[in-house]
Chains A and B, each alone.
Chain A
Amino acid sequence: MGARRRKRGSRDPEQGIPSPPGYSVIPIKFSEKQQASHYLYVREHRVREGTKSSWPQKRTLFVLNVPPYCTEECLSRLFSPCGPVQSVQLQEKPDLTDSAEEPTSKFFHPTPVPGFQVAYVVFQKPGGVSAALVLKGPLLASTESHPVKSGIHKWISSYADSVPDPEALRAEVDTFMEAYDKRIAEEEAKAKEEEGVPDEEGWVKVTRRGRRPVLPRTEAASLRVLDRERRKRARKELLNFYAWQHRESKMEHLAQLRKKFEEDKQRIELMRAQRKFRPY
């Protein structure tokens, strides 16, 4: 993780609100009607020398404690007075890599209910970052022009979203399965051509199709092999040949007895504690 270590303590003298050191505080409210506000903690995104990060160095703002009702376009709208915003990404935890994963399917990976999140806001110019650091609040997440649904409306709309469209689902399944089948076929074809062909160091990969029988690469198979080796070795070694072997076996025996005694003592303690019939 980067250089962001949170410490308790130092109060921000201007606003009387506790914040982690090095962060400035921006209050954010859901709408005009609320009295109390949540606080966003912002800082310029910095990493230690040598650590790679995919966020552009000078232009990225790191925001902590983003409340769940704040979405990505909401954040970009709120930070646009500081400067043109290039992109916003919300994550659960601070993560250095900008994981550009393939867009997750709406049907198969329903988005979980977000808690408080962490955001990386990339501005187009470095001036945006410094303007954001001195931004005073309070920011409003939901205004008349951009209302955010909450309560009954939100639940009704999420229920409506959960009713799926069979045609879209079918189309998505079909495209995925086509891509999958193609990939499997390609892999098969590649494995077939590499059959028995040595690679650049002269090693030939042992696969299922070869002439010699091959073990599957699972943990259970390797454990079985190790077990067999151990048994073969145990058959061959002599255990009572040397004097030190005698001594060691005796000491082990004693240690085991002692351990068993301790265990029994504990068990008796437990049984005595569990006893319910106390006539005295």
Chain B
Amino acid sequence: ELDKGLGGFSGFLVSMLVAFLVSTRKIHTTMSGYQVLRSVLQFLATTDLTVNGISLCLSSDPSLPALADFHQAFPVVFLDSSGFLNLCADVTASTYHQVQHEARLSMALLDSRADDGFQLLLMTPKPMIRAFDHVLHIHPLSRLQAACHRLKLWPELQDLGGDYVSAALGSLTTLLEQGLGSRLHLLAHSRPPVSEWDLSQDPPKHRDSGTLTLGLLLRPEGLTSVLELGPEANQPEASDFRQFWGSRSELRRFQDGAIREAVVWEAGSMAQKRLIPHQVVTHLLALHANIPETCVHYVGGLLDTLIQSPKETSSTGEEALAAAVRCYDDLSRLLWGLEGLPLTVSAVQGAHPVLRYTEVFPPTPVRPAYSFYEQLRERASLLPRPDKPCPAYVEPMTVVCHLEGSGQWPQDAEAIRRVRAAFQLRLAELLTQQHGLQCRATATHTDVLKDGFVFRVRVAYQREPQILREMRSPEGMISLRDTPASLHLERETRHLPLLTSALHGLQQQHPAFSGVARLAKRWVRAQLLGAGFTDESLDLVVAALFLHPEPFTPPSSPQVGFLRFLFLVSTFDWKNNPLIVNLNNELTVEEQGEIRSGFLATRTQLPVMVIVTPQDRKNSVWTQDGPTPQILQQLVVLAAEALPVLEKQLMDPQGPGDIRTVFRPPLDLYDVLIRLSPRHIPRHRQAVDSPAASFCRGLLSEPGPTSLMPVLGYD
């Protein structure tokens, strides 16, 4: 959308650029269209017209004004063939930087020889709300007039004939860029449309030309810093810093002994740290440009309310997830060091969404109130009582434990199950004796209560899927066939831990992955389609947004990631293309080509939604029993409907209205609705529209030690 509006980089400028390149012999007349495009993009990406302007004028007449003069008057210089006119007079520096940024991304895309490069490069719309992490609207544009006066922009006002919007843009953008500093990758602004009016009427006023929207593309590294360091107190730059930051800059002494000017922003949790640019922008605009906070509408954290837990509103759950993962690390260390098992533990792997940071509602430490439950004394467990409301939902986190290899395991499936049960019992005993943890063992798993979190430990034997696959034919011949039991076991014990660890790694690289995945899953489940999709398939679709973000950059905020998720789901051709998620960059381009051709050959045997990862190249194990065609189609349709609604809400300068509209499912297409009594819904508070009152679910609010196993998985 760069070519629209006043001061846009329109088609005329591009044609002039091509003419320039022809004149400097960079483009020959024999080149094909693709080569012309490529050389234009390369020129845009590598040269900087704000520093070295270009000119179509060939004569070097000394009476012509020099390029340096043009540079003093205009940010971007591109002279026409007369030498007097700057074609890019209206183009601001930030628009030009945006053009350069896009050109660089496009060059990278063309160089990577991706399969659908044409589609991505030339046919994907990139509206501002989907391209930029945080967007802010400055609404009553009449304030910009006051801003112009405050910033002393009278010469520019005169030049532009009283158009205070364009006049203010340049200095506002430089102001904000200086303030946001290293947090910012790119700042861009929308351009007011070039309006037409009747001859007999007055021209429309500037303040009616819509809103000014600024988009911020943030660097992920800058998201966590709460501090802006300034120069040392005795240097002359310190006074400039103080003047720039106004009342917020303070002198502080640091640990290395230096006394420096610094600005500290208050931000407790990760969610608040993501919104620090909001504080920076409002402070600077109010201080220097006299634009009060009420005129600035910042759209960056509006969807955060949907991933907050019902009780705490200041954080979006990252800290809770981190606490759960720390507890899991402690438990795995205990398991590693456990003595007394016949075979030692060789690997402990997590296999639950919490351990890959994508659980929508992170678990909180549980401390049950004993009066609420019945107790099963001899098993040290709590049972729900029929007369009280349903107890709170506690989900145990699955952990797979591999033991060292040994030839002593029996080769019969039933015997292996019994041996595994014996291991579970022994594990429970040892954990209770050596570390005092409350355990409960069953034939297939052991539930361990540690610090209020419940973990479900499964002992796995590597050869078991192989043994389950063996089938004896009547002649006594042993053949290996995949049975449902063996596939299920392999998925649980081999593929799931690998996927969990790969996504854990992805989360460390891109901190916004967790927020986007949780929002996406919340939306799918709110639309009542959660039963059709496995957790892992949705996580993989979100991972594809981060690993293959072309033509965008990877998202740094949950909001933009969610919008891109909706776009991907609604426009991806599930029938004819597999979704390739290249975790850890293990698949080369040739392998991807092979996978695609293999996909076309076996399309009829594959499920309707195919997701390919390096660990599972042919079978798409996560969608095998996954969505039926009707459910997938329903999801696509809902995403296509939800995307424009949500974008319109977010781009509305008066405020977004009810952001939860998209999260409410359409109920009129069902024939029968069964209403459940809220007394017995354990996850009642997790509804999209949180209920005004709910029932006490038998948990005490302060965490403390418990001695009985709470009710697990009761829903």
Task: Tell me if B415 and A177 are in contact (CB < 8 A).
Answer: yes
Q: Does B384 contact A (CB under 8 A)?
A: yes
In whole angstroms, how far apart are the Cα atoms of A107 and B422 in the complex? 12
Is B425 touching A166 in the complex (CB atoms < 8 A)?
yes
Inter-subunit contact B428/A160 (CB<8 Å): no
Chain B residues with CB under 8 A of A176: 414-415, 418
Interfacial chain A residues near B379, Cβ < 8 Å: 163-165
- Are A160 and B479 in contact, CB atoms less than 8 angstroms apart? no
Interface residues of B in 407-422 (CB under 8 A from A): 410, 412, 414-415, 417-419, 421-422
| A165 CB contacts on chain B under 8 angstroms | 378-379
Residue of A nearest to B410 (CB): A180
Specify which chain B residues have a CB less than 8 angstroms from the CB of A214 in the assembled complex: none
Contacts of B714 in A (CB 8 A): 155, 159
- CB of B422 within 8 A of CB of A170, answer yes
Q: Is the interface of A mostly helix, strand, loop or mixed?
A: helix
Decide if A108 touches B414 in the complex (CB within 8 Å). Answer: yes
What residues of B have a CB within 8 angstroms of the CB of A257 in the complex? none
Given contacts A160-B376, A166-B428, contact A222 B477 (CB under 8 A): yes
Considering the chains assembled together, what is the distance between the CA atoms of A113 and B418 in angstroms?
A: 23
Q: Are B478 and A218 in contact (CB under 8 A)?
A: yes
Select from chain A the residue with minimum beta-carbon distance to B577.
A274
A184: chain B residues at CB < 8 Å are: 410
Given contacts A169-B443, A277-B119, contact A218 B386 (CB under 8 A): no
A48 sits at the interface (CB 8 A): no
A interface bracket (residues with beta carbon within 8 Å of B): 20 to 34
- A276 contacts chain B at the CB level, 8 A cutoff: yes
Report which of B417, B428, B680 forms a contact with A152, defined as CB distance below 8 A: B680
Query: Contact string, B661-698, partner A, CB cutoff 8 A, digits 1/0?
Result: 00000000000000000001000000000000000000
Query: Are the C-beta atoms of A108 and B418 separated by less than 8 Å?
Result: yes
Report chain B residues within 8 Å CB of A134: none
- In the complex formed, the residue of B with least CB distance to A177 is B418
Contacts of B448-483 to chain A: CB distance below 8 A: 476-480
Contact partner, A218, options B381, B442, B443, B479, Cβ 8 Å: B479
Contacting pair A274 B386 (CB below 8 A): no
Partner among B381, B419, B425, B577 whose Cβ is within 8 Å of the Cβ of A177: B419
Instruction: Report the minimum CB–CB distance from A149 to chain B (whole Å).
Output: 10
Q: How far is the CA of A220 from the CA of B479 in the complex (A)?
A: 7
For chain A residues 152-202, which have a beta carbon within 8 Å of chain B? 152-153, 155-156, 159-160, 162-166, 169-170, 172-173, 176-177, 180, 184
Residue picked from B118, B384, B410, B443, most chain A C-beta under 10 Å = B443
Per the bound structure, the CA–CA distance linking A165 and B600 in Å amounts to 52
Cβ of B123 under 8 Å from chain A: yes
Q: How far is the CA of A156 from the CA of B388 in the complex (A)?
A: 12
CB <8 Å contact, B440 and A153: no
Per-residue contact bits, chain B 355-386, to A (CB 8 Å; 1 contact, 0 not): 00000000000000000000010110101111
Query: Within B524-561, which residues are at the interface with A (CB < 8 Å)?
Result: none
> Judging by beta carbons under 8 Å apart, are A180 and B415 in contact?
yes
Top 7 A-B pairs, shortest CB-CB distance: A219-B479, A107-B443, A218-B478, A173-B418, A164-B442, A176-B418, A180-B415
B-side interface residues toward A, CB under 8 Å? 118-119, 122-123, 376, 378-379, 381, 383-386, 410, 412, 414-415, 417-419, 421-422, 425, 428, 440-443, 476-480, 573, 576-577, 600, 680, 711, 714
Question: Which positions in A face B, CB cutoff 8 Å?
Answer: 107-108, 152-153, 155-156, 159-160, 162-166, 169-170, 172-173, 176-177, 180, 184, 216-220, 222, 267, 270, 273-274, 276-277
19 additional A-B pairs beyond A107-B443, A108-B418, A177-B422, beta carbons within 8 Å, are A152-B680, A153-B386, A159-B384, A163-B381, A165-B378, A165-B379, A169-B421, A173-B422, A177-B415, A177-B418, A184-B410, A218-B478, A218-B480, A219-B477, A219-B480, A274-B573, A274-B577, A276-B119, A277-B122
